[in-house]
C-alpha cells in the first residue's frame, strides 16, 4: 500500500513538472513575438557628449595620451538638428607622443555618401602640435554639453532669432590662447550676416571676446 502511494505521488509530481516545462517555451515565444511587433524607434539628433564618448572609447585604443582638438556638428539626411543636437558629430583627436591626428565621426544615420551610421574613422595625419589658434584639450575641460551651451546662447540671441526665423545653427568646440578653457562657438547665418556667441565648455558661462 505504501509503495503504491509513493508511486502515484511521484507520477503526479512528474506530470506537474512536465506541464510547467511545456508551458515555458510558449510564454517565451509570446514575449518574442510581442517584441518583434514593436516598431523600431526612428533615429534622432543627439547631444555632443553622447557622440563624443562613443568616439573617444575607440580613439583611446589608438593613443593612450589622447587629446581633443575640435568637435563639430554636422547634418545627415532626414535628421533634424535642433536644440544643440545634431545627426552627426565629428571630432579631431591628436596624440602628442605620436605627433599624429585622426578624424572620427559618429552618426545616427547614413548620409548616403561618406558617413555611415555609427562610428567612422579616418587615416592618420601628421600633427605638428598646438598653435595659438588651435590648442588640444582634455576631457576634464569638456563638461558642458552642446544642448546646454545652445540654450545659453539662444536666450541671448532671442531678439535676433525672432527677426530671422528658420536660420540653422552650426556648433563647434575648440580651444585657443584667447580663452582660458575650450569654448563652444555657436553661429546662426554667416559670420558677416548672422549671430554668434561663445560659451565656456568648462563652466557654461558666456564668453565675451
pLDDT of 160 reads 95
Q: DSSP strand E in the chain: where?
A: 67-74, 88-95, 100-107, 118-121, 125-126, 169-174, 183-189, 194-200, 206-207
For residues 41 and 44, what is the distance between their CA atoms, to the nearest angstrom? 9
Kindly indicate the confidence band of residue 83, based on its pLDDT and cuts at 50, 70 and 90.
very high
Q: Kindly list the domain boundaries of the chain, sorted by start residue.
A: 1-38, 48-207
Query: Would the pLDDT of 208 be above 90?
Result: no
> Do 105 and 74 touch, CB atoms closer than 8 A?
yes
For residues 178 and 8, what is the distance between their CA atoms, to the nearest angstrom? 89
Q: How far is CA 28 from CA 68, 77, 149, 193, in A?
A: 47, 38, 46, 60
Q: Model-level pTM greater than 0.95?
A: no
> Do 88 and 119 touch, CB atoms closer than 8 A?
no
Query: Would the pLDDT of 74 be above 70?
Result: yes
pLDDT of 27 reads 54
Amino acid at each position: 500500500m505504501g509503495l503504491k502511494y509513493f508511486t502515484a505521488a511521484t507520477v503526479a509530481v512528474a506530470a506537474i513538472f512536465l506541464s510547467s516545462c511545456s508551458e515555458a517555451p510558449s510564454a517565451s515565444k509570446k514575449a518574442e513575438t510581442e517584441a518583434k511587433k514593436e516598431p523600431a524607434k526612428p533615429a534622432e539628433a543627439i547631444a555632443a557628449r553622447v557622440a563624443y564618448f562613443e568616439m573617444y572609447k575607440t580613439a583611446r585604443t589608438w593613443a593612450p595620451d589622447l587629446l581633443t582638438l575640435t568637435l563639430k556638428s554636422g547634418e545627415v539626411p532626414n535628421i533634424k538638428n535642433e536644440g544643440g543636437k545634431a545627426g552627426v558629430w565629428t571630432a579631431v583627436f591628436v596624440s602628442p607622443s605620436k605627433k599624429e591626428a585622426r578624424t572620427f565621426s559618429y552618426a545616427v544615420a547614413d548620409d548616403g555618401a561618406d558617413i555611415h551610421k555609427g562610428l567612422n574613422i579616418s587615416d592618420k595625419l601628421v600633427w605638428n602640435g598646438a598653435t595659438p589658434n588651435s590648442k588640444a584639450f582634455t576631457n576634464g575641460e569638456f563638461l558642458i554639453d552642446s544642448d546646454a551651451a545652445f540654450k545659453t546662447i539662444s536666450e541671448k540671441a532671442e531678439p535676433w532669432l525672432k527677426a530671422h526665423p528658420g536660420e540653422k545653427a552650426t556648433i563647434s568646440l575648440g580651444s585657443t590662447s584667447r580663452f582660458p578653457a575650450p569654448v563652444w562657438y555657436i553661429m546662426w547665418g554667416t559670420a558677416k550676416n548672422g549671430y554668434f556667441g561663445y560659451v565656456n565648455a568648462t563652466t557654461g558661462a558666456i564668453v565675451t571676446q
